[in-house]
Amino acid sequence: MMDEHPRRSAHDVALAQYDEAVSLMPDLNPNAAAIMRVAKRELTVNFPVEMDDGRIEVFTGFRVHHSTVRGPTKGGIRYHPDVSLDETRALAMWMTWKCSLMNLPYGGAKGGVIVDPKRLSQVELRKMTRRYATEISVLMSPEGDIPAPDVGTNPQVMAWIMDTFSMHRGYSVPAVVTGKPVQIGGSEGRYDATGMGVMLLAREALKHLDIPIDGATVVVQGFGNVGATAARYMHGQGSKIVAVSDVYGGVFNPKGIDIPELQRYVAQHGAVTDFPGTERVSNSELLELECTVLIPAALEGQITKDNADRIRARIIAEGANGPTTPNADKVLADKGVFIIPDILCNAGGVTVSYFEWVQSLQSFFWSEEDVNRQMERLMVNGFDAVLHEAERKKLVPRMAAYTLAIARVAEALELRGVYP
């Protein structure tokens, strides 16, 4: 395998993981393997937005569909300065495997705009979102491509996208996005779904390793929606959250951090740094702290071959997409670290997005208890299937998850055939 740069391309990582999985599947049709290795379609858009001071700023955005073999494409929209076509391709591919692994009737997609949303006013953010939604609406529809929130976006952004699409149609189309507010057709339980799913699978992994969740030490990188929610649920299960970080830095307390109190502090001050009763810790130091469960819930490419040998977690629960590079995987496997792979660990979000899509299409809504119960059932089933596959084929959990997911997409490809 090629040497990896500390910031190895996300698409290179996705392809390396795919190629490794395919090498473990001797019965896979090579034609199907070739089709699945590339994205079906990629759209790049450059669009002007009038800013509050009257000047025009031109933004660049993307929407990538990796596969449509198992159903409409599903995937989030990311607003971040580091968004690129390469990253969007990788995230779309990972979404295909995630949806397949969870047995959802979707293919993978991803989208994004190169922007720091924090530097835009609310009016500028709304204008930019509506224009971006208009540009990618040639691909969007409840039957074809259903966006969702991701890094830098939220239910309000989804509301604007849904409204923009609906204005073009002349009637409301709530099923065109998921992760929207409950008041306009969103699902109960959607906001917490990804973070709660991370907790559920950390719980299953701890159970598998005969480690009680009560008293387990947890480190969380990234205190956004996923990381903060996972931390809150782990805290609620009796785990001791000893360190958390956000884009501004990290905080550490070996006796444990009061997560609800920290969330209130962040709501007031906008960052975890300087939270009373903690000491500061850098991002690299945080990843290397001794703990039972490490939850990387920030961006991709955080654990590489350069720091993997210093990771002292028993379990890595991948709340983010692609936080661990392939070469790091090998180091961690040799150390006996149990990795809950991203396409399984953070699949709670897309699972409840599927429930939301179904509810929007039917205009028939479920209670939060029903949503959470159904998500837990699918997440635990997914974990059990990956564990069974790993033990049956003597694979690490990531490769077990990949081979299961790829085989299902390949089977759908074989059944549908190649048009014409």
How is the chain split into domains, by residue range? 38-173, 193-345
Per mean pLDDT, which range of 74-78, 142-146, 222-226 is the poorest? 222-226
Q: How many CB atoms lie within 10 A of CB 55?
A: 8
Query: Can 38-173 and 193-345 be said to share one CATH topology?
Result: yes
Whole-model pTM over 0.85: yes
CATH number among 3.40.50.720, 3.30.465.10, 3.30.70.20, 3.40.50.1100, domain 193-345: 3.40.50.720
209 in Cβ contact with 387 (< 8 Å) = no
pLDDT in tens, 156-186: 999 999 999 999 999 999 999 999 999 999 9
Whose tokens are 């974990």? That residue is 383
pLDDT given at position 3: 39
- Interhelix angle for 348-362 vs 193-208, to 10°? 130
The model's confidence at residue 127, banded by pLDDT at 50, 70 and 90, is very high
pLDDT given at position 5: 43
pLDDT given at position 270: 92
Of 228, 319, 316, 238, the C-alpha closest to 272 is 228
The pLDDT of residue 281 is above 60: yes
The pLDDT of residue 323 is above 50: yes
pLDDT given at position 237: 96
The model's confidence at residue 128, banded by pLDDT at 50, 70 and 90, is very high
Average pLDDT, the chain: 95
The pLDDT of residue 1 is above 70: no
pLDDT given at position 112: 98
Q: How many CB atoms lie within 10 A of CB 4?
A: 19
80 in Cβ contact with 105 (< 8 Å) = no
pLDDT in tens, 326-373: 999 999 999 999 999 999 999 999 999 999 999 999 999 999 999 999
Instruction: Tell me which fold the domain 38-173 belongs to.
Output: Rossmann fold (3.40.50)
159 in Cβ contact with 184 (< 8 Å) = yes
284 in Cβ contact with 307 (< 8 Å) = yes
110 flagged as catalytic: yes
Residue 82 CB burial class (10 angstroms; 0-12, 13-18, ≥19): middle
The model's confidence at residue 318, banded by pLDDT at 50, 70 and 90, is very high
Query: Region 124-148: what's the mean pLDDT?
Result: 98
Query: Region 299-318: what's the mean pLDDT?
Result: 94
State both tokens at 113. Answer: 């705009």
Give the containing element (helix H, strand E) for 280.
Answer: strand 279-281
Catalytic residue, candidates 110, 127, 240, 305: 110
